[in-house]
Structure 1
């Protein structure tokens, strides 16, 4: 009988090992990307104080919001590459890669322009004058870094889809060191470099992303393992159909990512209305939650790659096992993260700031709530990865819109202001939306698996 109907420990042991082997380098690379933001905040918080920390956090959140459609949209390329690889079609892989470059250029132009426009109208968010001025200039520099960021994301999708995730991992970790060094040098003005203050941190992010994009493309075009997919005879082949496929699948996927990121970005705005201390505390707690979330997205990416490969082989059993393995890994990891947040919240906060007791107390309370939504966050992101592997992107977009904008944001506002729960109310709203999304997306994934293919 099929292992889908009668799974064995041995079956899932091999699935877990393969998922771990693929996801760990992706997780480390994802962690490296998040740690760049954490590094920025550590340097800004320690060297410039809570107001600059709040401004940088707000600018980073809104900038990431604008880029999320591009980052989320391009993530479909890894699944398309993985499916083509399982079908032994290197020409299709080449076309998807070249089409992805075209889409990345288009999205960087559109989203970068919108990001700059948003920066010039920062006063709309109703923040304090100091936060508005600092965040506007910070975000303008981040807008310029969107192009290299999306090129890096696209190149990474090729590597991950071909099961070479260590390439992006190595380059991301190298960029993390570059970012930390440039933060210190440019904020303080060490040696021949000017003292740029908060703008030094934004400039460090820009140069780090340029380094990442250049390093990824250089490796891809020079490494022998990629030459099979970059043959000269592939170049004349048109990529219009593949570009449309990337856009057709990627834009809904990007919007799904956008709705979640927008929820957290707008939550930053709501918290900013409560005061500068609440804003700084929120940024500390959300930074910690972002670290664990991005690690869960590594498992999600592995799920998308493995599910799409099984789909390419027409194996419903393989799709099922790949999904179950990813859920098990994510739940296990996020449970450990929740335990850490719940038991070491005070110590974690001191890593960011020590000179403002009010901020520390608020942040410690928010970290506890972050501990509770770790499981919901881990489940919903893995379900999204599995659905992306099945090229199911439209219904998940609707689910995300309802869960985050229909439930999480309104509830956050109501609990924070009419019910006077302050920043804690905002975070309870976020927890509710994540839990709802996790339940609905998980149901959708397993329902789609049962209807995808006959049992092999």
Structure 2
């Protein structure tokens, strides 16, 4: 007797198989940042606040580059869906995406070198904190190019549905970064105690090593050798270079709107004082770790939707998108409950909750996590919705959704509640939750109307 096909069960299984290494890789990547924050937190709230300012300024440029390199995922997936052995086209996409990343890094480094005047004169931050933050930025910024190049190679193995390799490398990066931070921040193993500067140096070195490790995998591992990705790398391919910019720039701007609204929240917190800034750093780090799960599922959705789109499989497109959405939202409901029920346990990972000096920071962080529990669900919905649409090559309209939701609503409502209504840090986070809710509704509504709109 022949077993009847169960396409939905098959799709759920395929999505989970692809997503879990991507999720684990994202979690390892988030833990790299969490390790830095946890170690720097032991140096006190002032160091943690300076690190938060510097890191968030650097992330403006890094996240923009991540958006550009994300273009490689739907491009490769759709090429594979149309022609499973499209070696030359995939090689062109990978090479030119790295070229795009290198192009972006040059002006980014020039601007980041001026971190101190940007923080003091443009963003009105405390001069003492800005000075320390700039020392950190000048060390961490050199890891931007190898970090972006690693992400391109990671996109390549993900689109080939072999993401386990990037997970192995990222776990190695987590270990190396932790060891380097331990040595360079606190002065162990014969190294000088460099504090915040040491953390930036550790991140740059670890990112460089991660790219080298991933390049070795690409060159040596059997599934990837036939693509010859790094051979004749210097040869230009201007049509594909422009294609990456065309698809990737709206993604970069979308991620830029999303990330900069959180970064703007950091600077607004800085105007409220050191305690709100430190509490924000703790709460956002916890929320960022949980966010890595729907982000990985969204990446899997982009691949699965892209493959179905390349095949011209309309029913497969729908199954791929909705399966990813159901998995991601189920997880985010569970994390929302965790943030409400066990906030002190989570805060204690980063800060000593029993120390009397930390009591104001802990109290505010608990309140912020209560708001974060609300936006966990809508944050998951918007990132997975964006990933589903990217699989169809739809990036421009989602960019406009992000502009409206994050900045027109999120930061506007947050600033009004924080300063005009006197809600302080809780008001800023309430605004963020409102903006995320609007974007999630718009993304899912567009996905629902994809066939009427002619997407994919």
- TM-score interval (norm. to shorter): over 0.9
Contact conserved, 1:50 with 1:280, CA < 8 A, in 2? Answer: yes
CA distance in 2 between counterparts of 1:453 and 1:303 reads 15
* Residue 223 of structure 1, CA deviation: 1.5
- Change in Cα spacing, 1:201 to 1:453, as seen in structure 2 (3 Å) is closer
1:203 paired with 2:201, answer yes
CA distance in 1 between counterparts of 2:109 and 2:284 reads 24
1:161 paired with 2:159, answer yes
CA distance in 2 between counterparts of 1:18 and 1:236 reads 36
* Residue 55 of structure 1, CA deviation: 1.2
Q: Secondary structure at the match of 2:373?
A: helix
Matches within 5 A, 1:263-282: 263-282=261-280
Q: Which residue in the other structure is 1:66 paired with?
A: 61
* Residue 263 of structure 1, CA deviation: 0.1
Contact conserved, 1:29 with 1:172, CA < 8 A, in 2? Answer: yes
* Residue 192 of structure 1, CA deviation: 2.0
Contact conserved, 1:19 with 1:325, CA < 8 A, in 2? Answer: yes
Deviations 1:403-439 (A, max 9, x none): 0110111111110111000100000000000000000
The size of the alignment, in residue pairs, is 446
CA distance in 2 between counterparts of 1:310 and 1:344 reads 41
TM-score scaled by length of structure 1: 0.94
* Residue 191 of structure 1, CA deviation: 2.6
Instruction: Give the counterpart of 1:53 among 48, 72, 81.
Output: 48
* Residue 232 of structure 1, CA deviation: 9.8
Please say which of residues 355-364 and 221-230 is displaced more in the overlay: 221-230
Q: Secondary structure at the match of 1:229?
A: coil
Deviations 1:48-103 (A, max 9, x none): 01111111122112211111111011111011111112222111111111111211
* Residue 9 of structure 1, CA deviation: 10
Q: Which residue in the other structure is 1:95 paired with?
A: 92
* Residue 450 of structure 1, CA deviation: 4.7
CA distance in 2 between counterparts of 1:259 and 1:197 reads 31
Matches within 5 A, 1:81-120: 81-86=76-81, 87-88=83-84, 89-120=86-117
TM-score scaled by length of structure 2: 0.94
CA RMSD in angstroms comes to: 1.9
Q: Which residue in the other structure is 1:427 paired with?
A: 429
* Residue 202 of structure 1, CA deviation: 1.2
CA distance in 2 between counterparts of 1:199 and 1:231 reads 35
Contact conserved, 2:394 with 2:455, CA < 8 A, in 1? Answer: no
Instruction: Give the counterpart of 1:442 among 444, 447, 455.
Output: 444
CA distance in 2 between counterparts of 1:33 and 1:236 reads 29
Q: Which residue in the other structure is 2:387 paired with?
A: 385
Q: Which residue in the other structure is 1:190 paired with?
A: 188
Please say which of residues 310-319 and 349-358 is displaced more in the overlay: 349-358
Contact conserved, 1:303 with 1:323, CA < 8 A, in 2? Answer: yes
Alignment gaps of 5+ in structure 1: 1-7
CA distance in 2 between counterparts of 1:207 and 1:51 reads 25
Deviations 1:311-331 (A, max 9, x none): 110011111000001100110
